[in-house]
Amino acid sequence: MKLFLLSTLIGLLLITNVNAQNGFGDNFNDNTLSCRWTNQVNYDTNKRIAYNLTETDGILRVDVDIMEAYENFQVAFPVIDISSNPVLALRIKSSNDFRLSAYVGDTNEYNTNANIYLDINAGIDFQDYRFDFTGRLLQTFPSDQDVNPKAIITFGFFVNPGSSSYTNTFYMEDVQIGTAGSQNGGIESCILTNLENKSIQHKDKVLMRIFTPLGQEVKPEQTTEGLFIYQYSDGSTDKVMKLE
């Protein structure tokens, strides 16, 4: 048996065919932030994080530290069709009032900018909010474009859009766009996108678990041939191609 390291997995990812789902969500219940969420980094030289996202106790904590106007955070996912239910629903708890804008983006990289917003009311309990994009799937900057509801690949948020300075901590729960789909932020696919290319020769760490490229765990005796993801005791991973 021979072991080969793959230099890239992109080709395999590109041929993965998906039937479009009609929704995507995250209930934050697994207490592990899906890699599909992006902590937006400020555009200043210190690379501070404008939105620090932490998933704990089954909810998402968002520490906001804006220093530039229109900084945002978002989640990305495989293409979904929200044409039958173009609504983004979520629950928020905050000890301070603020304005929250939500946007959706499509495969053409058109997005609805920061035009659609709600005023979040301070309170000690979670409150329900809905962003209804019906008739509002329009990009107005940098050019006027229709955002395609059948090809949505991201949604995200601006806190106090346009403000160049703001700090707050709020909590998010049960975010859902469209209908059904993933309910855990797509974390099952993270093992692929977090991979780094490293030597499989490790003297100081132990192979702990093995996964298929789709994230399904397998036993060592099941890995006679094909591509596998090795996870080590320090949390690092390798892509390994095994041939008979």
Binding site for Ca ion (CB under 5 A): 27-29, 58
* Least gap, CB of 241 to Ca ion (angstroms): 38
* Least gap, CB of 56 to Ca ion (angstroms): 10
How far apart are the C-alpha atoms of 9 and 191, rounded to whole Å? 12
| Burial tier of 199 (Cβ tally within 10 Å: 0-12, 13-18, 19+) | exposed
* Least gap, CB of 175 to Ca ion (angstroms): 10
Instruction: Give the DSSP H or E segment for 231.
Output: strand 226-232
Q: In this structure, how many other beta carbons lie within 10 angstroms of the beta carbon of residue 231?
A: 16
Taking the least distance from each CB to Ca ion, the nearer of 58 and 220 is: 58
Taking the least distance from each CB to Ca ion, the nearer of 42 and 183 is: 183
Taking the least distance from each CB to Ca ion, the nearer of 29 and 223 is: 29
How far apart are the C-alpha atoms of 195 and 8, rounded to whole Å? 10
* Least gap, CB of 126 to Ca ion (angstroms): 10
Residues whose CB is less than 8 angstroms from the CB of residue 157 and which lie 6 or more positions away in sequence, other chains included: 72, 73, 74, 100, 101, 102, 103
Taking the least distance from each CB to Ca ion, the nearer of 22 and 27 is: 27
